[in-house]
Every structure is written in structure tokens, then in C-alpha cells.
Chains A and B, each alone.
Chain A
């Protein structure tokens, strides 16, 4: 009998073990790379990296092997699809299944912020100047990427303001229209594209704008900059904070969008359109105005190959509502910080290890690594001329093997090598120009308890009301009522918390 009972226990224990093994197996991958022995600067390092994937599938090993050679490291990526990064990063943080390097892109997410502030990650501020490439990160960038004055990772250096308007040049020419410089002219173009049959097929099957269900990276926020709306928050001389949606510029933008919608100058279901559908529609010649990142233009043209072979594009970044050069403005996404490369203390155990990882990131910032992660291997993916202009020669292969690494580049501009594609060149130029007119969010580095806990909930109230206003379901009173309920549900607290935090930074 004893034997039997023992057997039962063993079987149970075995089963339990299997279950536990199964349970932990999924979280184990990231941990293995971190070993306990201290790192020798020149020894081959094992580095695991929890990174964001912006393409449909992870890259093959071709570029990875080259990178490993270059950086003298074994790199093990865990890719998180961009669309599910919030829950994946949050669950990784909650379950402590991290890697040596963690790409944190949503610094305004409350749980990310809390874990940064809690000291889960190394403070890299004191180390940066020891490495040639990291030392070049400007004070401004370091400051905006800091939380409460501490830099919890290496900031991704992105262009400050990347948005603008892409218009079908061939359609403009066909209808005898000038490139628009004011919002009013842009409306005229949208109207003409809708009503005057720019594709000449005799059918009224085109619209001016094509937009997606995104008030920020879609058309709305960029247009709002043209109307002089602040970037998320506005701070007055005497330190009073105003959210963007309580400004006249925001109302004007809503009215503008409403006019577009009611006139039919924008795709009527933009409130439920996904980014890929939006770009498809543009590529299929169903619309002629695309508002978004300027460098999207190159993709749009690529997608249109075989569908709209006559497509020519013009990029515009100097639209204003008044026509005065002095009113030019364009919002800067996250104040130009693309996120942080952070190093959790649970994985990067001591200073020696941290230094090895920092050296790795430093090596990633090299010209050579940048070229590798942007264009691929010379001769295989691209050719380069004596002006350092690179042309992608095998774009299918490039998409598979190189493109996914875009998110692994800690810095995206300022290198000698550049794209030979005229549209990409043009967009790079305009994006660089945008920096002069960039509108920053004054509250980006400030702390608000209400924002941390309820920020996203509260924003939903405003986002919903904005859509409803544009689609004509509520009027101005209805919108103001929504703003009132925002205030009551915590908005007022948010304002006063930000004001207090702002005062502190000023004194």
C-alpha cells in the first residue's frame, strides 16, 4: 500500500513537473543569454534583445550574422509585433521575463514609466561619455529622454518632426492646379480631386484625402499643426497649462475635417480604416492626398507600381492656414525621442556586464552597422555610388532580410550613406527642414499622477468626441460637454498636477 501511495505521489510530482516545465518554457528564452560570469570587453558577448518588429515577419539570419561579426556578440532577438507591443511589454515587465536589452517605445505608458522610475533598469547617464558614439548624444536629447532627471536607457534618436502632405503631382497637373500652400488651397485640391475626375476614367470614383483611424499619426494632428494647435499641451507665460483640445486651433481642425467629410472629399469610412488599407487605396488611385510621415511617399510609389504607373508625387511641408511663413509649425512626435534601449538589472547583473552591452550599442551606432541595418549587404541588397548614395537593387530580398532591422537602429539620421531614391531624398530634406518649425510637447517630461493612472481613459473621451464632431453626430455644445466630463473625470487634476510639475522645473 505504501508503494502504491508513493507511486501516486511520484506520478503526481512528475505531472506537476511537466506542467511547470511547460509553463516556464515560454518565458525562458530571454533569460538564457544572460550568464553570470563577468564580461571581458573583448570577449564575445551573449546579448539578448527584446525588440519591436514593424514588419509582418522577423528577419532571416543573413544580416544578423554580419552584425554579430561586427559587434563581436551573439545576439538573440525576441521580436514583439508593433501592434501588440503594449500588452507584450507590460506582461514582460509584470512577469520579469526580460532580456539584456529591452526596447521601450512607449515612455508615456504608465506601467512602463512606473517600472523605469522604480529602478528596474540601469541609469546609464554616467556612462555615456565613455563611448565615442554615445558621447555624441546631445544634452537636449538626454534631457527629453530622462524621467525625473534620470536617463534610464539609451534614447533612440529620431527626426523631430516627420509629418507632412503627399499629393498626386500628375493629378494636379491634369487639373491645372498649383501645389497648395494653405489649408484653403488644400481644400480646393481635395474638392477638385473628388469632383473633377482626375484619373480621367469618366467615373466619380476618387476622393481627395485618404485617411485612417488615427487622430495622431493620421491626417488630423498634422492638419491641426497647420491651424496653430499646440502639441498635446500648451503652456502660457505665467505657467498655465491648456490641453490642445481646448484651443481654437483644434476646433478649426475639427471643422476642416468636418467639411472634408461632408463634402465627400475624404474616404467616408476613415474612422475605421487601417493603415494598410489607407495606403492600398492611395496606391490604387482612389485618392490623391495622403497626410502622414513624409517618407511613406516612397512606399506609396512602390505599392502603386503596376496599378497606377503614371503616379507622380509631390511632398509638401509648408502648409499654413494663414499663408504666412511665420506661422509654419509641425508637431514633433514624442519630442523626437523614439524610445529607450533599456537594460534591466535582473538581466544585466553588474557594471562590467552593463559596460559590455553599452559597448555593443555603441558599435551599433557605427556607420557600418547603420548601413547594414538600413540597406543590407553591398552587392547583395544594394549598390552604392561615389556620392554615397545607395540604391536598393533587390527589394524583395531587402524587405525580407533587412527591413525588420529598422527598429534596431539607435539613430536614424546623420550618416554619410543615404538613399539615392529621389523621393526618399526629398522627404529626408523636408524632414530636416521640419525640425526648425517643430512644436514640442511641454508636458512630455513632466509627471502627473492622474495621467499615469487614467491618462489613456481620459483621452478616449476626447478622441471619441472628436470623431463624433467630425462625422456630425455632435455639435460644438456636445464637444464642450465632452471636455467638461473630461475635466470632471480627472482632467482638472491633470492640469493642476502638470502646472505644479512645470513650476518645479522653472524654479
Chain B
């Protein structure tokens, strides 16, 4: 189907093509468009690209009062320290395990919930459920971790009191390394499940209703319709979100883990984000923590590119 061509576009096509080619881009012609890009462009330059220059301190022994120009250059010293310290493998392991658990246990849930919500026919009921499940998203991690603390503490926490009442031994959820991951993923599910359905629900609404009618003609029941119509229709959205998620593999969220972290669960709870914070901001090792951050960023970039390529191989669009 040919796209409608407006008068102005036509003139561009005919007259300006040569010019455009020659000069790369035509500011005057597309003044408005460029103006519209400008704020976003500035945002990226000022807040994303400009600060990247600071990465240079990963190769220095940066001392704030000497500045970047005055600090000593030390080459790969901090990288060597990072890769030779045993902490590195602990950080990598913890981060990857938590990421894997996140993908396995959390990622599919919003899809399932969105599909289920889609099947709810009663409009008022559906809307109220949606509103209610969005609420946890707006709570800060401090509140959620505090609520968990009140529930799970050994000294009078509801869960442990219940366990004790039915004669089971109390479990120290907050100070044991075995429970940390369960608690962590559980909290993420509680907080983000509802909110994450939004994009899927939006994707579902644009599915062509004719397809459902056609499926009904063929005798498909609700389950079949979901499986053969809805799911394939939102597949590109799922893939896109998965790629984005993989890109932030090492970005597990500082605040959440920092609140859960304590001396007794550190060996499974310390992740790159919390490590950067303690090493960099609290102990003032700015260069070293920049190195850790740089490593994190590079791994993230590689993962996005890999998963994007994989998605394309599987016949999807990918994110770029």
C-alpha cells in the first residue's frame, strides 16, 4: 500500500533530493523537527555523553583536589585489582544468579497476569483490579523492605509467630544467606508485577479483533484464542522487553539490595551496585569504583548486542 504523499513532501522529493544528499541534512527545511529533537538531544549530551568523559579516572589514581588533569595515571592498575580480587567472582556470581532468577521467576508473571486480566469481561472488576495491583509500584523500597522486616523478623514477626504456633522452628529469613534470594525475588514480584502488566495490556488492546472472530469460527475456545492469537500478537513486545531487560542484567537496583544487605548474607547479597557504592562513595575510592562501573557497563552493552542479534536470528525485529 502506497503512503499518501503531501504537497510539501512532494516538493522535498523532487527539488531537494540532490541538495539533501549533498549537504547531509537540511536544517532549514526541517527546522521544526530539529527543534523537537533538540531537548532530547541536549538531555543525552549533557546527562549521558558529557559525564562519560569522567570514565577516564578509571585509569588514574584520582584525587578530587588535584582534578583529572593533576591526578596520577596508573594504567590498568584498578582493572588488575578488580579481576584478581576474590570479591570479583562473588559479585559476578551473585549478580548473574539473581538476574537468572529474575528472568525465570519474575519475567513471565506479568505476561500471564496480563493475559488473565484480558479475559476478565466485567469492566468495573477489571479496572479496580488493575488500579489495586499498580499501587505497590509507587511504594519506595524502603517501605517494602520495612514491611518485610516486620513480617519476617524472628522477634515477633507475623510469619515466624505462625510457624511457631504450628510447631515449626522459626526461620531467620533476614539473616540467612539461603533465604536472601527468595526474599529478594519475592519483593520484586510483589512490587512490580502489577505495573509490568501495563505494556502487555496495551499491546493486547491493539490485537485485531477480526482474528478472534476468525478463531471463534474455527471453534477455538478461550485458552486456544489466547495461545494462538493473543500471545503471537504480543510476541514482539515480549522480545523487546526481554532484550531491554538483558541489557540491564548487571543493574539489579542498588537501593533494594542495599537495604537487604547485612553481614550475614553478604556472600550472596553483595552485587556490583552495592559494591560500587561502598567502595566509591563511602570509602572514597573513586577510581576503583569507576572501574567496576565501567566493567558493568561494557558487559551490559555486549549482552544487549548479543540478545538483539539473537532476536533477529529468530525472526524478530529486535530493538535496533
Contacts of A471 in B (CB 8 A): 175, 264
Q: Do B42 and A5 have beta carbons less than 8 Å apart?
A: no
Query: Is residue B207 contacting chain A, with contact meaning CB distance below 8 A?
Result: no
Query: Is residue A213 contacting chain B, with contact meaning CB distance below 8 A?
Result: yes
Task: Choose among A109, A114, A467 the residue that contacts B264 (Cβ–Cβ < 8 A).
Answer: A467
Given contacts A12-B38, A110-B283, contact A460 B175 (CB under 8 A): no
11 interchain pairs (CB within 8 A)?
A8-B34, A8-B38, A19-B42, A94-B286, A111-B64, A111-B284, A115-B65, A456-B278, A457-B278, A457-B283, A460-B263
Binding site for A on B (CB under 8 A): 27-28, 31, 34-35, 38-39, 42, 46, 63-66, 85-87, 149, 153-155, 170, 172, 174-175, 262-264, 266-267, 277-279, 281-286
Query: Is residue A395 contacting chain B, with contact meaning CB distance below 8 A?
Result: no
- The B-contacting residues of A in range 435-464, CB under 8 angstroms, are 453, 455-457, 460, 463-464
Q: Is the interface of A mostly helix, strand, loop or mixed?
A: helix
Contacts of A466 in B (CB 8 A): 263
Chain A residue with the shortest CB-CB distance to B67: A96
**Listed stretches A85-93, A136-144, A223-231, A369-377; interface member:** A85-93
Q: Do B266 and A272 have beta carbons less than 8 Å apart?
A: no
Tell me the complex Cα distance, A240–B285, Å.
Answer: 29
Given contacts A4-B27, A90-B282, A456-B283, contact A271 B65 (CB under 8 A): no
Binding site for B on A (CB under 8 A): 1, 4-5, 8, 11-12, 15-16, 19, 86-87, 90-91, 93-96, 109-112, 114-115, 118, 120, 213, 267-269, 271-272, 281, 453, 455-457, 460, 463-464, 466-468, 471, 473, 485, 489
Tell me the complex Cα distance, A16–B279, Å.
Answer: 33
Contacts of B284 in A (CB 8 A): 90, 93-94, 109-112, 114
Chain B residue with the shortest CB-CB distance to A210: B155
Q: Do A272 and B174 have beta carbons less than 8 Å apart?
A: yes
Contacts of A1 in B (CB 8 A): 28
Q: Do B281 and A16 have beta carbons less than 8 Å apart?
A: no
Task: Choose among A15, A86, A460 the residue that contacts B281 (Cβ–Cβ < 8 A).
Answer: A86
A-B pairs with the 5 shortest C-beta distances?
A111-B284, A94-B64, A87-B281, A467-B263, A86-B282
Q: Do B64 and A269 have beta carbons less than 8 Å apart?
A: no
Contacts of A94 in B (CB 8 A): 64, 284, 286
Q: Do B285 and A460 have beta carbons less than 8 Å apart?
A: no
Task: Choose among B170, B267, B277, B285 the residue that contacts A453 (Cβ–Cβ < 8 A).
Answer: B285
Tell me the complex Cα distance, A5–B29, Å.
Answer: 11
Chain A residue with the shortest CB-CB distance to B275: A457
Chain B residue with the shortest CB-CB distance to A92: B64
Task: Choose among A110, A268, A463, A464 the residue that contacts B154 (Cβ–Cβ < 8 A).
Answer: A268
Task: Choose among B155, B262, B285 the residue that contacts A268 (Cβ–Cβ < 8 A).
Answer: B155
Tell me the complex Cα distance, A453–B286, Å.
Answer: 11
Given contacts A5-B27, A467-B264, contact A96 B149 (CB under 8 A): no
Q: Do B263 and A271 have beta carbons less than 8 Å apart?
A: yes
